[in-house]
């Protein structure tokens, strides 16, 4: 237990947490001002305001608040948990004591997982507070955003579990902490930035070679959509086309209203269906299993490894 508490304190020290919150606040602040000047200037209907705000908000949470910076920071913290003790030599002393190696790993993992949940929750609340405060939005929209919190936390619980297990595993597989952090950063950027671009440009290859099986952006966005859809938020076709570029779940090709577009001469959208390559519930089970297997493999590696 003392290992859990000590690691928790180290992971959640004031200085790094404040820096993290500051960085996380940058994009919501900018978006808050953009919403204020572009959407809440009085020229847009309440319905459109709601539509845009909800759409942008969900993109922001997926890509930023629980996306790239969150996963990079949290994973980097996780990678350091074992790697630091190995490089500093303190692990050799720790394993000579009356504590099992699996306990050391599990306590460290729990500490990391709790910290990820706290940082994620803090990020979600900071995000909502900043956006609602700066943009001066309608109270009904505020309520909608606040109502989304439990479902966002459900997504956080899952993604936190996956990435905490993955980062612990990486810290055991890759000896250099720097290499491990660079690797996980690289994969996170690929998941959230490169794959969506590739998918948009080369959709035929994507389907031909069943790339959705390895498209983690699709996996996570489908899971994300599964949770936020529980709020019965319906995205308008316009917002779907915006959201769809970041959260790769909407089949935007099927969202083009060809008849109306031909008549009017401009591309008009109708509600796009969700890509149905894989089922969200299956993916949740699959990724939960991945996290559990990652932990079991980590325990196995640490138990068998010589701590020189």
Return the bridge partners of 274, or none.
250
Q: How far is CA 83 from CA 6, 136, 187, 303, in A?
A: 16, 46, 19, 15
Identity of the residue, 4 or 44, whose beta carbon is nearer to another protein in the bound complex: 4
Identity of the residue, 6 or 200, whose beta carbon is nearer to another protein in the bound complex: 6
Which residues, 6 or more positions from 109, have their beta carbon under 8 angstroms from its beta carbon?
78, 81, 164, 165, 168, 295, 298
193 belongs to the binding site for another protein (CB under 8 A): no
Residue among 17, 133, 124, 120 at smallest CA distance from 60: 124
Identity of the residue, 66 or 104, whose beta carbon is nearer to another protein in the bound complex: 104
Q: Single out the residue of 15, 43, 47, 88 in contact with another protein (rule: CB under 8 A).
A: 88
Q: Single out the residue of 45, 204, 253, 306 in contact with another protein (rule: CB under 8 A).
A: 306
Identity of the residue, 86 or 272, whose beta carbon is nearer to another protein in the bound complex: 86
Q: How far is CA 151 from CA 125, 137, 231, in A?
A: 13, 21, 8
Stretch that binds another protein, among 58-66, 85-93, 202-210, 267-275 (CB under 8 A): 85-93
**Nearest distance from residue 12's CB to another protein, in Å?**
13
**Nearest distance from residue 1's CB to another protein, in Å?**
8
d(CA 275, CA 82): 39
How many residues contact another protein, by CB under 8 A? 21
Residue among 125, 306, 131, 155 at smallest CA distance from 230: 155
Q: What share of the chain is helix, strand, coil (3-state, %, to 5)?
A: 80, 0, 20
Six token digits for residue 141: 């929209």
> Is 51 in contact with 235 (CB distance < 8 Å)?
yes
Greatest pairwise CA separation for the chain in angstroms: 77
First to last CA, the chain: 25
Stretch that binds another protein, among 39-47, 53-61, 93-101, 142-150 (CB under 8 A): 93-101
Q: Single out the residue of 44, 94, 174, 278 in contact with another protein (rule: CB under 8 A).
A: 94
**Nearest distance from residue 193's CB to another protein, in Å?**
35
Identity of the residue, 43 or 308, whose beta carbon is nearer to another protein in the bound complex: 308
Q: Single out the residue of 22, 26, 89, 273 in contact with another protein (rule: CB under 8 A).
A: 89
d(CA 179, CA 278): 32
Stretch that binds another protein, among 38-46, 82-90, 132-140, 231-239 (CB under 8 A): 82-90
Neighbours of 118 (CB within 10 A): 15
d(CA 98, CA 96): 7
> Binding marks (x or -) toward another protein, 95..114, rule CB under 8 A?
xxxxxx--------------
Q: Single out the residue of 37, 38, 90, 285 in contact with another protein (rule: CB under 8 A).
A: 90
Stretch that binds another protein, among 86-94, 157-165, 218-226, 231-239 (CB under 8 A): 86-94
Stretch that binds another protein, among 54-62, 68-76, 91-99, 173-181 (CB under 8 A): 91-99
Identity of the residue, 8 or 198, whose beta carbon is nearer to another protein in the bound complex: 8
Binding site for another protein (CB under 8 A): 1-3, 6, 10, 88-90, 92-100, 304, 306-308
């Amino acid at each position: 237990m003392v290992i859990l508490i000590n690691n928790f304190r180290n992971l959640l020290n004031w200085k790094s947490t404040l820096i993290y919150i500051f960085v996380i606040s940058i994009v919501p602040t900018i978006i808050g001002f953009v919403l204020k000047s572009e959407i809440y200037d009085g020229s847009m209907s309440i319905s459109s305001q709601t539509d845009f705000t909800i759409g942008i908000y969900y993109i922001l949470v997926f890509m930023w608040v629980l996306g790239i910076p969150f996963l990079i920071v949290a994973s980097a913290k996780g990678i350091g948990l074992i790697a630091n003790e190995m490089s500093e030599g303190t692990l050799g002393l720790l394993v000579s004591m009356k504590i099992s190696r699996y306990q050391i790993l599990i306590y460290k993992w729990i500490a990391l997982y709790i910290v990820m949940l706290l940082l994620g929750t803090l990020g979600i609340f900071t995000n909502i507070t900043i956006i609602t405060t700066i943009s001066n939005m309608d109270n009904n929209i505020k309520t909608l955003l606040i109502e989304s919190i439990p479902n966002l936390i459900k997504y956080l619980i899952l993604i936190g579990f996956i990435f905490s297990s993955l980062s612990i595993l990486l810290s055991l597989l890759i000896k250099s902490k720097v290499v491990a952090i660079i690797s996980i950063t690289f994969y996170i950027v690929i998941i959230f930035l490169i794959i969506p671009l590739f998918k948009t440009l080369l959709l035929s290859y994507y389907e031909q070679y069943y790339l959705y099986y390895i498209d983690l952006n699709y996996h996570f966005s489908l899971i994300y959509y599964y949770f936020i859809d529980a709020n019965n938020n319906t995205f308008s076709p316009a917002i779907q086309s915006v959201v769809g570029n970041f959260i790769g779940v909407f089949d935007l090709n099927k969202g083009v209203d060809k008849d109306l577009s031909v008549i009017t001469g401009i591309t008009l959208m109708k509600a796009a269906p969700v890509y149905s390559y894989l089922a969200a519930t299956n993916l949740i089970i699959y990724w939960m299993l991945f996290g559990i297997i990652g932990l079991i493999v980590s325990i196995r590696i640490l138990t068998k490894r010589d701590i020189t």
